[in-house]
A and B are shown apart, each in its own frame.
Chain A
Amino acid sequence: MVKRTYRWRFNLAYIIGGILAVAIVLVLMSPLSDSFIAAGPMLIGHETLKCQECHQDERGTLRQQIQANVQYLLGNRQNAVSAGYRTVINKDCIQCHRRPNDRHPVYRFLEPKYSEVRQLVGAHQCVSCHREHQANRVSIDVEFCQHCHDDIALKNDPVDVSHQKLAADKRWDTCLGCHDFHGNHEMKIPQRLSERIQLEKIGEYFLRAKPPYPGKIIHKALSPDYEK
């Protein structure tokens, strides 16, 4: 009797385990499961994106990918490959976020002269500043401008405190108070330093607050003028 009860319980555990396994697989396969699988909260504006919109299959089969990486580790191959899904790259972001006259398009930082900046802040990759699955809009310190603009000097400087002096005084916290990094907000740039947007507001914007820049957004992601 004891033996039968034990066996019955044993079988029941198998059945429950089986049902749970099937249920988990079904849940994971369902479109609703993206938020469970995601490595963290999505960037603001990305909440409705599906995983596969950024995470696409790496070329080759899983076996070819493992094989290629083993060869890479053995020194028989120059490049490793991702296993399963390929690395998300700028081109994935730009499919939605391309706009004319971006003030700091990422591709510009691929130029040889930006080699040091690439190492310091990864300015050539969208995800260096906009890390996905971390909730924040911008995940870099506000003072990043210093890496390229430390020798700034305008011939006809329109601001009451010159850009040259601001750079000399290392006032890198002031840059984004007047300049929207990608230039995607309609705004008149103030000519008095005191009229700039305060650092606290910029910091809140870097988290998830609404843009502190006064004008409207010029180009929304995937707006009709992106691709025709």
Chain B
Amino acid sequence: MKSKTFIIQFLLLCTLIVYLFVTAPPPLSETESTGMQIPIERVFKIANEENKQARALYTKEIVQAGKKQGLKFDEQWQESNIIAGPLPAQFLRETAMHLEKSPVRLGLYLGSDYPINKVNQLSGQQLELFKKIKQTGRDHFYHIPEDKTYVYMSPDVAIAKACVSCHNEHKETPKQDWKLDDVMGATTWLYPEETISLSEALHLLSELRAGFRFAYKYFLMEIKQMKNPPEIGNKWPRDGYYVPSIDGFMTKLTSRSSADTLDLLMQSVKKSEKGGENDREPG
């Protein structure tokens, strides 16, 4: 009886092994990513350049020029009794929120050593790296194995007078002597894989642009509630009491960033084909 049971168990085990391994379909890949792989560091760099362009456009051409025309921008812009556009940092936050909802696994954050809002206080390893970034002005890429996360930090520079004056004059500011071109903080990007397929990279960048579109849409939704809203169309605040439509904003943004993005992508593909930097450990 015992040997009979043993034979049955043995046959069942054999069947299971055959089922699972011998006649099995191809194994599942570790990630959903397939095709040519690009190091995520390069894609971070491209996303960061796109983000710089979007923030510069919003800060200089919408916030700074818009203020001169009488448009309001307020950190409490979402309160129902306040009709105002989001500040540049909040523009980034809405972009980040869109990324969180999208299928891509890209994280986008802002931080500083002197933030107005304490939730944006950099600490620990991020703060130490930020000190280096402040000295060198260069981006930094690293890996946190315990969090299974790859991190890219890039300096946020005071690119417009509006950045400096708002931060210096805010009642909760911990620092009142910001100057133009100061490194005021850092943009942090997160991704859970060391490499990304070309198609996923394109998807990621298109979702990032969709995030800018979303953030700008929220600005227009506020503007439309004004008693005397500016004309929304092809003209910009520097032309008068106007703001561009979503398509107008995005067209300007893509005209500024697309050439560089395409160039960087092509360089990445070339390097990946050669296997140039694939052996390098993340720094």
Contact = CB atoms under 8 A, between A and B. Distances in A.
B28 interface: yes
Interface in A28-67: 59-61, 63-67
Contacts of B149: 110, 112
B124 A98 contact: no
A156 B27 contact: no
Interface in A58-97: 59-61, 63-68, 70-71, 77-79, 81, 90-91, 94-95
B107 A110 contact: yes
Contact of A113 (B30, B31, B126): B126
Interface stretch (B17-25, B232-240, B249-257, B262-270): B17-25
A186 B99 CA distance: 26
A151 B123 CA distance: 13
Contact of B100 (A81, A94, A183, A218): A94
B220 to A, nearest CB: 11
Given A154-B172, A156-B172, A105 B146 contact: no
B119 interface: yes
Given A94-B101, A156-B172, A112 B27 contact: no
Contacts of A77: 30
A86 to B, nearest CB: 11
A106 interface: yes
Contacts of B26: 64
Nearest to A102: B97
Contacts, number: 103
A218 B80 contact: yes
A111 interface: yes
A40 to B, nearest CB: 27
Contact of B97 (A105, A110, A186): A105
Interface string B27-71: 110111000000000000000000000000000000000000000
A115 B101 contact: no
Find the residue from A61, A65, A66, A101 having the highest chain B CB count within 10 A.
A101
Interface residues of B, number: 48
Nearest to A98: B101
A3 interface: no
A4 interface: no
Contacts of A156: 171-172
Contacts of A79: 30-31
Nearest to A66: B20
A107 B27 contact: no
B109 interface: yes
B278 interface: no
Interface of A: 59-61, 63-68, 70-71, 77-79, 81, 90-91, 94-95, 98, 100-102, 105-108, 110-113, 115, 148, 151-152, 154-156, 183, 186, 218, 225, 228
22 contacts: A59-B28, A60-B25, A63-B19, A64-B25, A64-B26, A64-B27, A65-B28, A66-B20, A67-B27, A81-B28, A94-B100, A95-B101, A100-B78, A101-B94, A110-B149, A111-B109, A111-B111, A112-B149, A113-B126, A151-B118, A218-B78, A225-B221
Given A107-B99, A115-B146, 5 more contacts: A60-B28, A63-B24, A78-B30, A111-B126, A113-B124
